[in-house]
Amino acid sequence: MSQTKTNQQADKGKRGSFRDHISTIGDDGKRAWIYPKKPKGKLYNRRRIVASILLAVFFITPFIKYKGEPFMLFNIFERKFIIFGQLFWPQDFHIIVLAVITFIIFIILFTVSFGRLWCGWACPQTIFMEFVFRQIEYLIEGTASQQRKLAAQPWNFEKVRKKSLKHFVFFSIAFIVANTFLAYLIGVDELKALVLLGPLENIKSFIAILLFTGVFYFIFAFFREQVCLIVCPYGRLQSVLLDSKSIIVAYDYKRGEPKGRQVAKEDRANSGKGDCIDCKSCVTVCPTGIDIRNGTQLECINCTACIDACDSVMERIGLPKGLIRYDSEKGISEGKRSIFNARTIAYSSVLTILLFVVATLFTFRSDVEATILRVPATLFQEYGPTHYSNVYKIQLVNKTRTDVPVRLELKSHNGNIQVMGDQLVVKGGDIREANFLVIMNKSELKTSNNRIVIDIFNGEKLLSSYKTTFIGPNSLDKEQN
Ligand code: SF4
Ligand code: SF4
C-alpha cells in the first residue's frame, strides 16, 4: 500500500519503522509515558456527553430499587442475579448462556461492521481513563506539555504537592469505584450495613475493598493504555475481526500523501503535496501514542481524538475536513465513503433478530421453576392393600416477588399426590423444597418403570409439567412377558 510505504520511509529513524517498536516503550526498553494533548472538537464533545451519561448510570444504578429490591444485582456469593428488575437464579443458566453467546456474536458482528466503536465510546476503561482520571490530571498538573515538564523537573515542593494531590484524588476515586462495584455484588443496603459496622468488624470485606481499590488505582494511575495494548482480549481480536469494509478511524492517505509542511501562501495542489501538513496534531492527542497515518494499528482504540485534531487543522488552513475520519479501508482506497452498506445493514438485521430472540426468552421464562427427583435409594412402598407409593423431592424456585401457593396433580395416571408437611407455598424470590408421595392403584401399573407426568399449578394456572418415573415391583415385567 502506498500509504504504508511512504510512512515507513518517513518513520525510519534510529528506532526503525513503526512496525519495529511499540509506541509506549522507549529505546532503552523502559515505559515511554504518554502525555496526550487534551482533545477538542465535535466528536470529543459528543463522547463527553455519552461518557457523562454512562458514568451517571454506573454510579446511580445501585441505588435504584424495584419492588423493594435492587434494580441490578450480581450476587455471585448467593447465586442471585437481578437484571433490569427481573430475578434470575442458577436455574436460568441456559438463558444467561444464550444471552452471553448472543452478546459474543453481537460483539463480533458489530466489530466486523463498525470496528472498535465500543472501545472509543463506551468501554469503561476509556471512559474512566479519558473522562475521569485524565481530566483530573489536566486540572492538577496542567496541559500535556506542563505535565511533561513537571515529570522532568527535580522533586521540589511544587512537584510533591501536585503529584501527591493527584494520587490522593486518584485513590479516593478508585475507592468510590470499588465500593460501587461491591454495591452491584451485594446490594447498596448490605454495603451500607458493612460501612456502618466499621472496618474492624468486617475486616475481610474491608481488605477486599482495599484490594479492589488498589487494582483500580494501579490501572488508572500507572497501567493506563497498557490495558488496551496488551491485556484486553477484545483488543487482541481486532486483527481477525476487521476487514477492508469495517468502519474504522482512518487516515485518507490518497488525499493526504505526500505529506509536507505548509509553506506560507503555498497552493498545495500545484506544489504536488497532499493535504497532510505533517503538523503531528493527530499524534500529540493520541492516548496510545500512535500515528494513525501509518494505517490501522492494534493500538488504535478509535477514540476519535485524531479526527477532531485534524479537522481543526484542516479548518485553519482552509481545506475540507475529514482527512482523518470514520471510514473503511475500501472506502478510502476507492474514494467513496461507505459507512452504511449492504453488509452492515445485513449484520445489523441479524443482530436485531438475535436480540429479539433473547428478549423474548427473558420475557416468557416461567415464574416458578420446578425440579422433581425420586428420593435416592428408595423403591416403591406398599400403600395399603391396593396401592403403591413412591417418594419424591421437589425444589421450587420462585422468580417473582410475590408468594406463590403451589398445587401438584398427577396428569398421566389416575392417582393421588400427598405433600408431606405444610402446604406448598414458595415465598417471593425464594427457594422451597418438600417431599411428596405419588400414590397409584396397583391396577394402573403395567411395568416396573412407569413414565409419569406431574402438573404444577398456581391456583388454576398451569406453571409447568414435569416428567419423571414411578417404580413398581419387578414382578410386573414378568407378568407382561
Ligand atoms: S493532524 Fe492532519 S494534517 Fe496534521 S499531521 Fe495529522 S493528518 Fe496530517
Ligand atoms: S489513532 Fe486516533 S482514534 Fe486511534 S487511539 Fe490514537 S487518537 Fe484515538
CB of residue 178 inside a 6 A radius of ligand 1: no
Report d(CA 41, CA 46) in Å as an integer. Answer: 9
CB 370 within 8 A of CB 395: yes
306 Cα to the center of ligand 2, angstroms: 6
Residue 220, all three cell numbers:
488508572
Looking at residue 449, its amino acid is N
Determine the residue of 252, 290, 310 to mutate for testing ligand 1's pocket, defined as the one with the most ligand atoms within 8 A of the Cβ atom.
Answer: 310
Residue 179 binned pLDDT confidence (cut-offs 50, 70, 90): very high
CB of residue 351 inside a 6 A radius of ligand 2: no
Report d(CA 3, CA 136) in Å as an integer. Answer: 37
Residue 397: helix, strand or coil by DSSP?
strand
CB of residue 306 inside a 6 A radius of ligand 2: yes
Question: What is the per-residue pLDDT for 119?
Answer: 92
Question: What is the per-residue pLDDT for 3?
Answer: 43
CB of residue 302 inside a 6 A radius of ligand 2: yes
In angstroms, how far is the first alpha carbon of the chain from the final one? Answer: 81
CB of residue 99 inside a 6 A radius of ligand 2: no
267 Cα to the center of ligand 1, angstroms: 17
Least-confidence region, from 123-132, 231-240, 287-296: 231-240
- pLDDT averaged over the chain? 86
CB 380 within 8 A of CB 418: no
Question: How many alpha carbons fall within 13 Å on the CB side of residue 443?
Answer: 2
Ligand 2 atom with minimal separation from the 301 CA: 5
* Strand-strand pairing, 407-410 and 449-458: antiparallel
pLDDT (tens digit per residue) in 50-74:
999 999 999 999 999 988 889 999 8
pLDDT (tens digit per residue) in 429-476:
788 899 999 999 988 888 888 899 999 998 888 888 889 999 988 887
CB 282 within 8 A of CB 309: yes
CB of residue 43 inside a 6 A radius of ligand 2: no
CB of residue 273 inside a 6 A radius of ligand 1: no
Residue 2 binned pLDDT confidence (cut-offs 50, 70, 90): very low
Residue 196, all three cell numbers:
456502618
Residue 86 binned pLDDT confidence (cut-offs 50, 70, 90): confident
Interior CA angle at 467 toward 461 and 473, to 5°?
130
Cα 215 → chain centroid = 18
Mean pLDDT, residues 112-118: 85
Which residue owns the Cα nearest ligand 2 atom 2? Answer: 306
**Is the per-residue pLDDT at 347 higher than 50?**
yes
Question: Is the pLDDT higher at 136 or at 474?
Answer: 136
Question: What is the per-residue pLDDT for 253?
Answer: 93
Residue 331, all three cell numbers:
472506502
Ligand 1 atom with minimal separation from the 306 CA: 1
Looking at residue 361, its amino acid is L
What is the residue whose three cell numbers read 474514494?
335
Which residue owns the Cα nearest ligand 1 atom 8? Answer: 276
Residue 480 binned pLDDT confidence (cut-offs 50, 70, 90): low
300 Cα to the center of ligand 2, angstroms: 5
Question: What is the per-residue pLDDT for 187?
Answer: 92
Which residue owns the Cα nearest ligand 2 atom 8? Answer: 303
Report d(CA 452, CA 430) in Å as an integer. Answer: 27
**Is the per-residue pLDDT at 370 higher than 90?**
no
| Percentage, residues of the chain above pLDDT 90 | 45
Looking at residue 58, its amino acid is F
Nearest ligand to the C-alpha of residue 255?
A: 1
